[in-house]
Chains A and B, each alone.
Chain A
Amino acid sequence: MSATDTSTTKESLRGSGRARRADPIFRGLVLVAATSVLVVLAAMIIRTTLDAWPVFDAMGFWGFISGQQWSVGHSRSEVTGTYGAFPFIYGTLKISFFAILAAVPLAIGIALFINEIAPAWLKRPLASTVELLAMVPSVVYALVGIYFFRLYIWEPVGQFIASSPLGNLTFFGPPVLLSSYWSAANILAIMILPIITAICRESFAQVPRDEVNAAYAMGATRWEVMRKVIVPRSFSGIVGGTMLGLGRALGETIAIAFLIGASQRWAPQLFFGGDAMTSVIVNTFADAAPEAIWALLAIGVTLFLITTIVNVLARLIVYRVGQFSGDAAL
């Protein structure tokens, strides 16, 4: 990046009286722009909370998040149904947990491979390929999940696990459904892989090269350097990346909506269908009476709270690790 091409001339830069007076105006302008971010965020939070209030009021906040029954009413002015969001919160946390469980080791592995093992000419193509995963729109993941992945990969693997000795545990027990927590967790894992990989790569790259070279000089093998120098030194980066990935997973919608089963209930098994916070919102929105929309807004507010806590923690950790040059789009 260079500025040699800026055609700025001395004349246009001279501070005339008018230019001086423009300074406070300019300051005001950028201040308004910056404030608009806060205004939009505040408007969203206040409006949704107000609209969701009747439901929180009727169920109690604790009653809302711990209640297991979700039966919508059809009133246009008052809360007549029973709204317990536990099945959705449970589903969201469950699939996010398993997605993280699968994606984090993979992301660390990919980051190590790209940074430390891959020859120079291979680094960029590999990195771009992983980035491409992040660019595929969610609705395409939904489509491919429905018509391909769950039929030919996830369900057979699930059957294999369920019929192994592990299947004796309720958690891994049959039946293995096509739309299940398992399918949803799998698609999530693929979708959050790029962001975790990117953050891991950033933090691995920040490990001082001297330390790495020192370890090699002492006779450490490549794996030993990675395991005992690079990964431990990047621990907080990995944690931060994981949290950002978790934030992504919690908010993912379309792919989950079509792969989790949309049952509005919860189930203890992994291979059984359930529901998640985002999926119940998009699946039932169009058909909802006003009071049911308030209830969906209440789920939205709860989801916002959870993701915000996770994201704030993630940001705090990632900030501490250092400035990342990576684009904020991740």
Chain B
Amino acid sequence: MSVETPTRPDRPGGHVSLAEKAPNARRREGASRLMTVVLGFTVAAAIVPLVLLLWQVLANGLPALSLDFITQVEPLSYRERGGGYLHGIVGTLYMTGVAAVVVIPVGVLAAIFLTEYGGSKYAYVVRFFTDVMTGTPSVFVGLAVYALLVSGAGGAGLGFGTLAGAAALGILMLPIVVRSSEEMLRLVPEDLKNASYGLGARKWQTALKVTLPAAAPGITTGAILAVARGAGETAPLILTALGAREVVGALWGAPQADIGLLMVDGFTQPFDAGIERAWAGGFTLIVIVLLLSIIARLIASRSQAR
């Protein structure tokens, strides 16, 4: 502890009355107040860009935003106004949905392994590599899925499409689902599990019928946040979904559209109508991600209120 406490050699033992201010108190108080202001500015440095960003997205996307934007596909022309990103919205939700359906059960089961059989060396290895995967750049995942599934040379040769895009998004979601589910499963009180064992339940019964339901709201929250993360990704889809100009239902064999891909396509062309749609697409994407987060937090707070 090195707080500058003034020593007063003229007084035995350096005792100072509590009422008496140290001689440098004014300077130190001033410094403290100054730093409070400085710290306030750092907060502004985070909030100002956010406000500017939201304002820009709204102001520029508005001309293209209407009901058509979510019910129609883009016109086959960059200079023609109107139309929308229906195909992109469908593609984004389709790929994220397929990814979620596969990854969430697998992730939760893996999390059960980590909590129920967590003591082993193998569990430690799994946990460690899951964390490594959390930090994997999304574009690397895109490349890997391209090499594994899309490319015919050495890969499965599925071609660009829904499944490849979903695989990339799923791989990005998987470690998040595993780790957040694990956290939630860990929060389930030991007593509850012991009570279950005491009633003669087996481990699988306890895990699936006691621990999992108890942790369900938290797991759901984590899973939805993972889905929100996946829905906002664009980079890996450049390498796996490629983009389309119509609503695509095929799982593979046909390139799939995505909001982010359509935005990139639109804002790299010189035509105003296409650029406006890109802004509107950005707005849509923010709303989707935000809605997912709100749902996730709603579930979390509901369960807490109970």
Contacts and interface: CB of A to CB of B under 8 A. Distances in A.
Question: A and B: real partners?
Answer: yes
Interface of A: 1-3, 5-6, 8, 10, 12-15, 19-20, 22-23, 25-27, 29-38, 40-41, 43-45, 47-48, 50-51, 105-106, 108-110, 112-114, 117, 126, 129-130, 132-133, 135-144, 146-149, 190, 193, 197, 214-215, 218-224, 226-229, 244, 247-248, 250-254, 257, 278, 281-282, 285-286, 290, 293, 296-297, 300-301, 303-304, 307-308, 310-312, 314-315, 325, 327-329
Pairs A-B, 8 closest by C-beta atoms: A251-B137, A109-B42, A26-B204, A311-B135, A33-B109, A137-B232, A328-B179, A44-B144
A301 B144 CA distance: 9
Contacts of B140: 44, 48, 251, 300-301, 303-304, 307
B162 interface: no
B238 interface: yes
Interface of B is mostly: helix
Interface stretch (B24-32, B93-101, B245-253): B24-32
B2 interface: yes
Interface in B150-209: 151, 153-155, 171, 174-176, 178-180, 183-184, 187-189, 192, 196, 199-209
A312 B28 CA distance: 41
Given A36-B110, A214-B1, A137 B141 contact: no
A244 B39 contact: no
B42 A139 contact: no
A182 to B, nearest CB: 15
B135 to A, nearest CB: 3
Given A139-B282, A223-B32, A290-B153, 5 more contacts: A2-B306, A34-B109, A105-B42, A141-B53, A215-B3
Nearest to B303: A1
Contacts of B138: 251, 253
A43 B148 contact: yes
Interface residues of B, number: 130
A221 B28 contact: yes
A1 B137 contact: no
Interface in B248-305: 260, 263-264, 267, 275, 278-279, 282, 285-286, 289-290, 293, 303-304
Contacts of B70: none
A132 B209 contact: no
Interface stretch (B7-15, B77-85, B221-229): B221-229
B215 interface: yes
A31 B118 CA distance: 11
B132 A312 contact: yes
A144 B3 CA distance: 46
Contacts of B153: 290
Nearest to A224: B3
Given A33-B109, A311-B131, A13 B267 contact: no
Given A143-B267, A222-B32, A329 B222 contact: yes
A312 B183 CA distance: 19
A37 B131 contact: no
Contacts of B35: 222-223, 226-227
B107 to A, nearest CB: 8
B23 interface: no
